[in-house]
Chains A and B, each alone.
Chain A
């Protein structure tokens, strides 16, 4: 076979990497290239340098080092038995590509993952080498996210953390039986063991920095993971429970949910029907409820339907409010932050504004309207100086009144 050009390999290895949902470049240590010899900065806020027509942000150069793989995970386009074109980069090529893109302000940095070639250790070494070249030889101070390999030597995984802003290991599937069926070469205990090890490395490095100012940073943007939704029989209740355990046990920054989507040369073991994209969206909303709105996983699970899944027609917060109507209306002039956050249509920013504003005046409905996106959604669930929802909260058809109307897609262009 003729030697593939960089362009051809980039096409193959970017295509192969796109099923990883994460593209975050935020929340890492602040750094810049003043006084250095290289390039790059991270200033806390992530930057999305472009958006693809799938609505996803492009923040990082997300590629695989190689899509050759000795594993045979059924949901994965790169599995051993898949009939896709294969390619590989050298660590130096990855570093060069990252810098060429970074200098033109296309990206915030690199997200490097890989299929397993030869052995887990060999693959991990190659990935760490790409990060080392960037950091040490080019003094690159942008963002690096490395996917680490649970089966690799823990010392290699630890090195990855010293070069990377973020490391991640995918738990892949929400249930043990799903993992056994669809990722037969992977082992849940090994995956969670590696996540736990990274957690303790992060804590240890933070602790060292409290005592020694020059102690090296270790994955300052923390670790994250990803679960595939809809490829196995797991319900939303299972997924929410699993995510909550992961947040609690491993202090993960993020759990990503990736609705299983058709891949070229799909394995016959996969389900025939893809889950609706909306299901993934509802899971992200429930994730937000747990992380920013003070809901417990049990409370989110209370709104799942008979099949264990979240309703698709309304968001989980509205579903909770409709199910526990007795909790409402909430008095915007008296209620605490926790209760205000439970009002459908009020986010953390609106709640902050309401609490600040009511030090100045007793709020009327109009005042609330000024700090929220849509007063119509909020109105049935609050009380203000000049407003009581009367019978509205009790109406049996409230759900249909509040559920977004289904809309037709418009022609584009």
Chain B
């Protein structure tokens, strides 16, 4: 039937359709339907923007034909309609013609929209895609600024510059989101005004019509700067999603250049602050003893005389770990030789543990103290210092590979567990470490030295009981 209509058209007849509005899909649909019913082929019609641009045949053209009575209905599927409704918002003047061409082809091939390799389908899908992206960026990048109106009400006003004719089509999104807010979106392609009840449209606006600041922007900018991680600079990824053309209307974007410029420096600073000399783990105790003294990973290293290395057999089944060397240990360069060491020795002996067969060391290898007159007063190591020195302790563990570790006091326990535990709940039972070593925790002998009378007796008994448990366990494991 269409064949007949086509033949009836005088050859070379040309029509021009001038769109009343750039985004008027209903009007385009009316015209396209009539033209197809009259059999006007795509090359027989040109489409122009409301201002006349895009009309290649500026002379205008013939008045549109009337569809003949009984002309066949024009077909289009849902997918075409939704595609066309959106693609028509594109700013490209050829969109009307492309859509008409696709509608024309659709009449003889109803499933053409499925054929993604067809050049017209591809072109229309590209138009659709860039309009969808523009709408999405409008949802994302509109920035409202609060102004007070004369009646004291809050009014939020934004300035946005879309690439395509998308303003009216996106009114619904902002209405649904900000239903109870009074707002205006000003753009060079027209404006939207919502007062909480009615949506009004206005003529194109200029940037100077919009407010130029809002105190909350200061908070937003500092949020933007704080949430940025300078250790992971990926400028390309940012630019592909937030191209520079949007920056001028986004208050936070003003910070970008300085954030990028400062990033490398901030990261370098963080790395430097956490920097320790990258060294190879020593494979023997004597190799470790040679390099230990050079360690400057934490400030304690500047105190005292020397780093105090552990002592004992590199194949000892038991490793005993104290907190840190004291005044006498620092001078002697050996662990547990002062008063606490003497107390430990006698307790070990009573429990039946031979100190000489154990490896004895400390969680922290340097003596931390404050000078008081002639005396050097012990200072407890901080969690950070213990964690820093843990590298050395782990080296000793890797070489000696004890079956049992006896940690004396909370600092030693932290060096092994990474957390601060309460002695009362942790003592008296083994804790299995990653490498299957059994960890037993008890008090530090210097704690006993600070107690008097019955308290000391009580604690000494607990200490002795813990050591006996360890001895029993050692015997079991050796069997």
Give the interface of A toward B (CB within 8 A): 6-7, 10-12, 14-15, 17-19, 32-41, 43, 45, 47-58, 61-62, 72, 74, 80-81, 83, 97, 100-101, 103-106, 177, 180-182, 184-185, 259, 261-270, 272-274, 277, 353-354, 356-357, 359-361, 363, 367, 370-371, 412-413
Contacts and interface: CB of A to CB of B under 8 A. Distances in A.
B224 A267 contact: no
Given A11-B226, A103-B178, A266-B274, A51 B238 contact: yes
Nearest to B434: A177
A14 B226 CA distance: 6
A51 B260 CA distance: 13
A33 B117 contact: no
Contact of A265 (B112, B146, B273): B273
B227 A17 contact: yes
B420 A277 contact: no
Contact of A267 (B112, B142, B298, B384): B384
Contact of B242 (A39, A51, A259): A51
B219 A74 contact: no
Contact of B176 (A33, A37, A354, A413): A33
Given A184-B417, A268-B388, 12 more contacts: A10-B219, A10-B223, A11-B226, A39-B179, A45-B136, A48-B241, A50-B224, A53-B260, A55-B232, A104-B144, A266-B270, A269-B418
A265 B384 CA distance: 9
A18 B233 contact: no
A198 to B, nearest CB: 26
A15 B236 CA distance: 22
Contacts of B81: none
B238 A52 contact: yes
A184 B117 CA distance: 57
Contacts of B180: 33, 36-39
A105 B227 CA distance: 17
Contacts of B419: 72, 184-185
Given A50-B224, A53-B263, A272-B278, A97 B177 contact: no
Contacts of B117: 353, 357, 360-361, 363, 367, 370-371
7 A-B pairs with the lowest CB-CB distances in the bound complex, closest first: A55-B237, A55-B234, A184-B419, A81-B383, A268-B388, A32-B176, A353-B116
A353 B129 CA distance: 15
Given A106-B143, A371-B117, A6 B178 contact: no
Contacts of B241: 48, 51, 57
Contacts of A363: 117
Given A103-B144, A265-B273, A268-B387, A413 B177 contact: no
Contacts of A57: 241
Best-surrounded residue of A35, A56, A62, A259 (most CB of chain B within 10 A): A56
Contact of A262 (B118, B271, B383, B389): B271
Contact of A47 (B119, B136, B226): B136
Given A17-B227, A184-B418, A48 B140 contact: yes
A262 B231 contact: yes
A177 B219 CA distance: 41
A384 to B, nearest CB: 11
Contacts of B242: 50-51
